[in-house]
Amino acid sequence: MSTTTAAGELDAWRALPAAQQPDWDDPDEVRAVTEELSKAPPLVFAGECDQLKDRLAEVVRGEAFVLQGGDCAETFTGSNADAVRNKLKTLLQMAVVLTYAGSVPVVKIGRMAGQFAKPRSKPTETRDGVTLPAYRGDAVNGFEFTPQARRNDPRRLLQAYHCSAVTLNLCRAFTKGGYADLRQVHAWNQDFVAGSPAGQRYERLAGEIDRALAFMKACGADPEEFHGVEFYSSHEALLLEYERALTRIDSRSGLPYDVSAHFVWIGERTRQLDGAHVEFASRIRNPIGVKLGPTTSPDDALALIDRLNPDGEPGRLTFITRMGAGRIREALPPLIEKVAQSGAPVAWICDPMHGNTFEAPSGHKTRRFDDVLDEVAGFFEVHRALGTHPGGIHIEFTGDDVTECVGGGAAIVEDDLHQRYETACDPRLNRGQSLDLAFMVAEMYRDTH
Ligand SMILES: O=C[C@H](O)[C@H](O)COP(=O)(O)O
Ligand SMILES: C=C(OP(=O)(O)O)C(=O)O
């Protein structure tokens, strides 16, 4: 592909309707910012994206399981060492539970280092009779409810890039620099074990892992894989100016990669077949995902495959279903059946968060842990009935002890929500709820295999 052709193709989305794009006041400022971004160093390398594609091909074949998660909306203030470490620690603990109790290799993908933009249901928000533009993520405007903060500011795209770089750098350091060494399984739990049932259950499992490691070492086995983990970054490719500015031609292959993250996905609100997001994603060579909600028809799924993975490359395309606990058992089977009949290689991941949000009487957006669990259970049941592979979960969680979702081992109730409700958008599982979920998913996995 020549560079000129590639540039033309990479910009084809500009002629199409693009949902959920901010109205920027000053096009010259947007141009200046994207120009600067287009010269900025890549955050990830094309070879790493290919490696993730290989891992996701293993998921398609039923040989591995994806754990993808992080904040609903990352924030600039949250891009600090403590918050990133806490999230990563929770992800590592969940992965260990799944790997050990589920006996399956886990592909670890953070919803981290780039998740700074949000699609919204409404363009505005009204509080006490005052209406302002909706918060669209730190990459676009500020969370504070003032006209100044809610102004769309393109310079925030640069800050999103820098916070992504900082976060990814920390993740790389933690996952490769010794912190993710399997011999640290107890250390990840240290600040947690005392009063928490999930922490205590984890501690018992960590003891078993210790013994297994000691046994292997005594047998002379101490593989490299035990001393660090592969970690990949991901976010919704929502702001097309940003994603386009970070798309580069890979010097090895001459092909375009979006170097803002290893994996990017198209959201439920932007997956129109004739829309700009699908067009853009069709041109980049990263592994990509598409969210599928309960109104998706089997023909929609096939058409998305045609557009996004016409060559049937295993690992290239992941469907992230988010049906809702009450819908998954009837909405998912027709999609899987038709896709399986077509022979297209697709990884199926369950997002049990986005179909299960409701508003508590206090006005907090929340989710019931039991609904989250029920959607995952439905996902496993459907795959078991059809003989297909439940390829992973995609969750919104944090490493902190927030009170945003109700239920779980610590039995948070609606009256507790106000105590630590810190999300900038949708409610996240806290650390205990995340670990509870990991144990239960590991059991489901074991029962299916
Ligand atoms: O995270 C997903 C969406 O951005 C979010 O669910 C939209 O929330 P809203 O319906 O409050 O706009
Ligand atoms: C907006 C999101 O989800 P969905 O597109 O499934 O609504 C999200 O994952 O942040």
What ipTM describes this predicted complex?
0.97
φ and ψ at residue 15, rounded to 5 degrees = -85, 0
Distance 288 CA to ligand 2 centre (A): 14
Ligand nearest to the CA of 270: 2
Q: Are 256 and 249 in contact (CB under 8 A)?
A: yes
119 lines ligand 2 (CB under 6 A): yes
Q: Check whether 383 has a pLDDT greater than 80.
A: yes
φ and ψ at residue 237, rounded to 5 degrees = -80, 80
Q: Check whether 3 has a pLDDT greater than 70.
A: no
Q: Check whether 118 has a pLDDT greater than 60.
A: yes
Report pTM: 0.96
Ligand nearest to the CA of 357: 1
Residue among 392, 437, 353 nearest 66 (CA): 392
Q: Annotation-wise, does 354 bind a ligand?
A: yes
Per-residue pLDDT of 92-112, as tens digits, reads: 999 999 998 888 999 999 999
Ligand nearest to the CA of 136: 1
Distance 423 CA to ligand 1 centre (A): 12
Distance 281 CA to ligand 2 centre (A): 16
Residue from 72, 74, 118 whose mutation best tests the ligand 1 pocket (most atoms within 8 A of CB): 118
Q: Whose CA is nearest to atom 7 of ligand 1?
A: 120
Residue from 74, 321, 351 whose mutation best tests the ligand 2 pocket (most atoms within 8 A of CB): 351
Residue 2 — very low, low, confident or very high, per pLDDT cuts 50/70/90? very low
Q: Partners of 132 in the beta sheet?
A: 125
Q: Give the count of beta carbons closer than 10 Å to the beta carbon of residue 378.
A: 23
Per-residue pLDDT of 134-147, as tens digits, reads: 999 999 999 999 99
Q: What percent of the chain has pLDDT over 70?
A: 98
Higher pLDDT, 278 or 202: 278
Q: Annotation-wise, does 49 bind a ligand?
A: no
Q: Whose CA is nearest to atom 10 of ligand 2?
A: 72
Q: Whose CA is nearest to atom 8 of ligand 1?
A: 120
Q: Check whether 1 has a pLDDT greater than 50.
A: no
Both tokens assigned to 380: 């496993």
Q: Check whether 149 has a pLDDT greater than 50.
A: yes
Q: Annotation-wise, does 269 bind a ligand?
A: yes
Distance 133 CA to ligand 1 centre (A): 14
Q: Annotation-wise, does 53 bind a ligand?
A: no
291 lines ligand 2 (CB under 6 A): yes
Both tokens assigned to 223: 């593989």
Q: Which atom of ligand 1 is nearest to the CA of 267?
A: 2
Ligand nearest to the CA of 319: 2
Q: Check whether 47 has a pLDDT greater than 70.
A: yes
Residue from 109, 269, 393 whose mutation best tests the ligand 2 pocket (most atoms within 8 A of CB): 269
How far, in whole angstroms, is CA 63 from its chain's centroid?
Answer: 20
Residue 429 — very low, low, confident or very high, per pLDDT cuts 50/70/90? very high
Residue 194 — very low, low, confident or very high, per pLDDT cuts 50/70/90? low
Higher pLDDT, 46 or 182: 46
Ligand nearest to the CA of 351: 2
Q: Check whether 179 has a pLDDT greater than 90.
A: no
Distance 426 CA to ligand 1 centre (A): 6
- Buried residues in 410-425 as b, exposed as e (16+ CB within 10 A): bebeeeebeeebebbb
71 lines ligand 2 (CB under 6 A): no
The per-residue pLDDT for 39 is 98
Distance 203 CA to ligand 1 centre (A): 35
Q: Check whether 281 has a pLDDT greater than 50.
A: yes
Q: How many residues does the chain have?
A: 449
Average pLDDT, the chain: 94
Domains belonging to the chain, first-starting first, are 3-27+45-119+169-180+228-448 (3.20.20.70), 181-227 (no CATH)
Q: Whose CA is nearest to atom 2 of ligand 2?
A: 267
